[in-house]
Each structure stands twice: as C-alpha cells, then as structure tokens.
C-alpha cells in the first residue's frame, strides 16, 4: 500500500471549513479520515443512553455517508488511542497525521502520548487551531501575559480581529469582502479528490460499545438570522426561544465557529460576545490547566463547603422548593439543556444558598449537558462560586425569587417544568433565603480572611 496521510477527527465532525483536514488534503498524499471512540472517555460516562454518544455516532455515520460520495470512507476505531494508533501503524503506511488542537488537560496528555508514538517512526503530527477563533497566546497583554478579566480581553480580541482583513470567498463561492482573517474559511472542497479511495469501512454499533440510543432530541445546526438579531433582547427569558442552542455543535465541531462568528458579527454584538466568552474560557484552561481541578483564585480553596448529600440530591432532582431552580434542574435532566440565565441561578443556589462545593455542580452539569465543554462549564461554575478569573464577588448572591420575578414573571417556564407548583405536592423551600445569604457571607468572609 502506498503511503497516506491521516486526518484524525476529534472535536471537528465535519468536512466543511476544517483547518487540519484542509491542510491534509492540500498535502502530497491521499488522506484517510479517522475517528476513535475513546474508551478512556467513554468508560467514565455514567449513563448508557448518554445522548452525546448517540449524537457523535450519528455524526460519524453522516461523515461516512458524505465520504462515500467522494469514493472514500472513514476509519472508525474503538479503544484507547495509543493502542488504536499502534494497530493503525501496522495496517497502513502512514507518512503524516493531521488533527485539530484540543486544550483540555486529558487531550493534551493524550496528544503528547500519540506524538511520541508517531515520532518513534518519524511520522510528523500536525496540529491546527479550529474550534476557537483565537487560541492560548494569540490575545495577550502588552507584556505577553494572558488576560484573566473578560472585558479587557474582549476589547483586545476585537482589536486582533480587525487588525487584518482579506478578500476571499467561502467554500460555496460567496464573496467575503474585507473578511477578518480569523474568519476566513479553510477550503476543503477543491481538494476532495485527495481522499483515499477505499471500500466502505465498518462503524461499530452503539451496543458494541455498551451504549443504547438516546431519545433526547438534538437542536438543529441552523438558526434563523432573526433570532441572532434579537438575541440581546430575548436571551435572558427562559420561556422564550431566544437562544441559539448551538452549544453541542460547537462542542463537537459539526459547525464552523468561523462561519457562525462571521455571520453574527453584523447581526448581534451580544451573540458575538458569547463566542468571545467561549474563546476566553478556552484560553484560561489552556494557560492555567490547574483550574480543571481547583479554583483559579487559590485562596478560595479554604472555603469549608458543607457535606449534605440530601440537599445535593434535592438540587439535582429539582426538589429545592425554589421554582426557578427546580424548573432549570428538571429541564436539564429531561432534555440535556438548561437556559443560560437559569444556569447562573442554579449554580449560585448550590454554591451560596446550600454552600456546597461548586465541583459537585460542575460534575453534574458535565454528566447531563448536551453542550458540555470543560472550559466553559468550569469557567461558569467558578464564576458562580466567586473563585474564578472574572468571577462574581462572593457577596453577590442571586435571590431566586427576585430572579424569577424578573425573568419569568408570568411563570410560563416554571409551569412547563414544575407542574405541581402551587399545589400541596410541591415541597417547601429547602433553606430560607435570608438565613442562607447570611451563612454564605459569614463563611466566605471568615475563610478568605484566614
């Protein structure tokens, strides 16, 4: 067999505007796409019907069908990446490997292991930026240090964006007059003849990997321009379809972050800011990987979190007696989604009303959210607990009742998810707001003063 290049799909389950794939296809060799169902990740999932695994499997099958149209296939493996790569190197004559970067601690460790393995055979391991607009060291302070506060970071991000423009076209030929260079698409279509011509290769069934299909629906990839245009006015109201719900597609790269940012830049600055927040948290995780395990503000490690399994389970199941909190938790458990505003309310309630460790909530969200992304989830939870980079101060404690009055005044969201609200079946509040607020303030103050 002739030498080939391999493109390793991870967080980029698409052929369109894929940075590493584009570079691979423009190389001198035919390209075989690869996806690995990583057992080091899958074996830590607790739910056999995890909707994210169903989604990934579906998208891999879609790639298989799309590649069939180019006379090619996707090589799909199940196992530990190092063991899978050892098998591949025996089966194929691999001259180069291309992939898109991932900044999570596990991914960094995995990629270092694979790079070393490939290096033993003299095979280059090429990695590219793809799931963010600007990565770890592209938007920094004048002294080269990373930003740790969002507002100055966002100003610098926007300055970097506009510092270079170019005239180009999209994959479909659509002109991009004066397009920011960071938004320029990575064209793959002109080079599709470089896919390795091969018969179809098998894709393992979900059952072979110990999973069952999930019935949880996945939000669509496409969002109406009108929703993006009014995003700033509607995004805070959970009973309104005012958010894009594109998180799962950004997480697994079934859509291009560059394309969505380019389309939104003239429609909604608020929506663009949400994409900047995504870059910000990814940059924080890449530069400060310790946040995956503990607080960015290390003095917050002294907070004596309560140990109350019963209270935690009531929060997880939506039985706190605070309707806006319970509605959010039930929406999460049933759909894999929770409205953004309600995520802040429920996180604040766990950490400040119940005084439970933010890492418990972070782990529950990681288990349930369709759009779980370590960087954003970690950043949001540390913000709520007051211990993160751009955190709300510890004395900022959301009042769930006033939040409900402000953002779900007519209780439409609550009635949807908590049908027993207002009846004798609905539980009383698990904790008094005034008492919880005073307990939180005194606990944080004492811990941070020591």
Residue 189's pLDDT is what? 84
Q: Model confidence over 380-425: pLDDT tens digits? A: 999 999 999 976 677 889 999 999 999 999 999 999 999 999 999 9
| φ and ψ of 221, to 5 deg | -75, -30
Per-residue confidence at 348, pLDDT binned at 50, 70, 90? Answer: very high
Cα 338 → chain centroid = 14
Q: Model confidence over 27-63: pLDDT tens digits? A: 989 999 999 999 999 999 999 999 999 999 999 999 9
Residue 173's pLDDT is what? 57
Torsion 205-209-213-217 (CA) sign: negative
Higher pLDDT, residue 395 or 336: 336
Whether the predicted model's global pTM rises above the 0.75 cut: yes
Q: What is the CATH number of the domain that holds 348?
A: 1.10.579.10
Q: Model confidence over 169-209: pLDDT tens digits? A: 555 555 555 568 888 889 888 899 999 999 999 999 999 99
Residue 303 φ/ψ region, left for φ over 0, alpha for ψ in the -120 to 50 degree band, beta for the rest: beta
Is 428 within a domain? yes
> Secondary structure of the chain in the HEC alphabet?
CCCEEEEEECCCCCCCCCHHHHHHHCCCCCEEEEEEEEHHHHCCCCCCCCHHHHHHHHHHHHHHHHHHCCCCCCEEEEECHHHHHHHHHHHCCEEEEEEECCCCHHHHHHHHHHHHHHHCCCCCEEEECCCCCCCCCCCECCCCCECCCHHHHHHHHHHHHHCCEEEEECCCCCEEEEEEHHHCCCCCHHHHHHECCCCCCCCCCCHHHCCCCCCCCCCCCCCCHHHHHCHHHHCCCCCCCCCCCCHHHHHHCCCCHHHHHHHHCCCCHHHHHHHHHHHHHHHHHHHCHHHHCCCCCHHHHHCCCCCCHHHHHHHHHCCCCCHHHHHHHHHHHHHCCCCHHHHHHHHHHHHHHCCCCHHHHHHHHHHHCCCCCHHHHHHHHHHHHCCCCCCCCCCCCCCHHHHHHHHCCCCHHHHHHCCCCCCCCCCCCCCCHHHHHHHHHHHHHHHHHC
Is 203 within a domain? no
Is 316 within a domain? yes
Same domain, 143 and 242: yes
Among candidate residues 246, 263, 287, the one where a domain is terminated:
287
Same domain, 313 and 343: yes
Cβ count within 10 A of residue 49: 13
Q: Domains in the chain: how many in total?
A: 3
Match 């060291």 to its residue by tokens: 137
Same domain, 430 and 313: yes
Residue 166's pLDDT is what? 60
Same domain, 314 and 282: no
* Mean pLDDT of the 289-307 span: 97
Same domain, 335 and 433: yes
Per the structure, the complete domain to which residue 144 belongs is given by 133-171+220-287
Q: Model confidence over 351-383: pLDDT tens digits? A: 999 999 999 999 999 999 999 999 999 999 999
* Mean pLDDT of the 235-251 span: 96
CA atoms of 52 and 315, how far apart (whole Å): 23
Residue 395's pLDDT is what? 83
The rounded percent of the chain whose pLDDT value lies above 90 is: 89
Residue 310 token pair: 């019963």
The residues carrying an active-site annotation are 274, 277, 305, 340, 358, 381
Q: What mean pLDDT is reported for the chain?
A: 94
Same domain, 164 and 267: yes
DSSP β-ladder status, 94-100 and 125-128: parallel
CA atoms of 377 and 364, how far apart (whole Å): 10
Ranges 105-114, 258-267, 423-432: which has the least confidence: 258-267
Same domain, 389 and 444: yes
Same domain, 308 and 273: no
Kindly tell me if the per-residue pLDDT of 251 is higher than 90. yes
Same domain, 111 and 159: no
Residue 57's pLDDT is what? 98
Same domain, 119 and 155: no
> Exposure pattern of 315-342 as b/e (b: 16+ CB <10 Å)?
bbebbbebbbbbbbbbbbbeebbbbbbb
* Mean pLDDT of the 259-268 span: 90
Same domain, 281 and 311: no
Residue 177's pLDDT is what? 55
């Amino acid at each position: 067999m002739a030498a080939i290049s391999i493109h390793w799909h991870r967080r980029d389950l698409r052929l369109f505007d894929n940075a590493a794939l584009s570079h691979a296809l423009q190389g001198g060799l035919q390209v075989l796409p690869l996806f690995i169902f990583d057992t080091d990740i899958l074996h830590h999932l607790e739910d056999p019907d995890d909707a994210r695994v169903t989604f990934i499997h579906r998208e891999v099958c879609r790639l298989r069908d799309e590649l069939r149209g180019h006379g090619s296939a996707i090589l799909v493996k199940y196992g530990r990446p190092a063991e899978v790569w050892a098998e591949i190197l025996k089966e194929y004559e691999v001259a180069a490997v291309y992939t898109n970067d991932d900044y999570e601690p596990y991914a960094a460790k995995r990629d270092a292991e694979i790079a070393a393995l490939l290096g033993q055979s003299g095979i280059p391991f090429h990695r590219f930026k793809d799931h963010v607009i600007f990565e770890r060291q592209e938007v920094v302070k004048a002294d080269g240090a990373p930003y740790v506060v969002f507002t100055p970071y966002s100003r610098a991000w926007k300055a970097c964006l506009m510092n270079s423009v170019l005239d180009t076209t999209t994959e479909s030929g659509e002109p991009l007059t004066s397009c920011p260079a960071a938004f320029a698409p990575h064209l793959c279509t002109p080079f599709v003849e470089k896919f390795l011509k091969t018969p179809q290769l098998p894709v393992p069934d979900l059952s072979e990997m110990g999973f069952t299909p999930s019935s949880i629906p996945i939000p669509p990839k496409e969002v109406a321009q009108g929703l993006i245009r009014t995003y700033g006015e509607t995004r805070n109201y959970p009973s309104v379809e005012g958010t894009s719900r594109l998180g799962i597609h950004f997480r697994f790269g079934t859509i291009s972050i560059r394309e969505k940012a380019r389309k939104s830049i003239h429609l909604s600055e608020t929506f663009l800011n949400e994409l900047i927040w995504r870059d910000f948290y990814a940059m924080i995780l890449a530069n400060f990987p310790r946040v995956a395990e503990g607080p960015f503000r290390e003095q917050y490690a002294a907070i004596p979190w309560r140990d109350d399994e019963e209270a935690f389970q009531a929060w997880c199941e939506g039985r706190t007696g605070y309707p806006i909190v319970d509605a959010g938790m039930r929406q999460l458990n049933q759909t894999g989604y929770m409205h953004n505003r309600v995520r802040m309310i429920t996180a604040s309630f766990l950490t400040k009303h119940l005084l439970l460790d933010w890492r418990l909530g972070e782990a529950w969200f990681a288990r349930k959210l369709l759009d779980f992304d370590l960087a954003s989830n970690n950043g949001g939870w540390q913000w709520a607990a007051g211990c993160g980079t751009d955190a709300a101060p510890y004395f900022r404690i959301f009042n769930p009742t006033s939040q409900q009055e402000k953002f779900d005044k007519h209780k439409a969201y609550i009635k949807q998810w908590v049908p027993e609200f207002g009846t004798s079946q609905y539980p009383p509040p698990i904790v008094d707001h005034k008492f919880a607020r005073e307990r939180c303030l005194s606990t944080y103050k004492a811990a941070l003063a020591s």
